[in-house]
Amino acid sequence: MSKKPKTPSLIASNKKARHEFFIEDSYEAGLELLGWEVKAIRAGKMRITESYIIFKNGEAFLFGAHIQPLISTSTHHVADPLRTRKLLLHRREIDKLFGMVNQKGHTCVALKIYWKAGRVKCEVALAKGKKLHDKRATLKERDYQRDKQRGFKNLAS
Alpha-carbon distance 42 to 122, whole Å? 15
CATH 2.40.280.10 fits 9-130, yes or no: yes
Most confident of 62-76, 82-96, 136-150: 82-96
Helices (H), 43-118: 91-101
Domain coordinates in residue numbering, the chain: 9-130
Q: Is 81 exposed, middle or buried (0-12, 13-18, 19+ CB in 10 A)?
A: middle
pLDDT tier, 155 (very low <50, low <70, confident <90, very high otherwise) = low
pTM value is: 0.76
In this predicted structure, the answer to whether residue 88 has a pLDDT above a threshold of 90 is: yes
List the one residue out of 112, 11, 16 whose CA is nearest residue 62.
112
Alpha-carbon distance 145 to 130, whole Å? 20
**Tens digits of residue pLDDT in 93-143:** 999 999 888 887 788 999 999 999 889 999 999 988 877 777 788 888 888
**Tens digits of residue pLDDT in 32-49:** 998 888 888 988 889 998
Region class of 136: left (phi > 0), else alpha (psi between -120 and 50), else beta: alpha
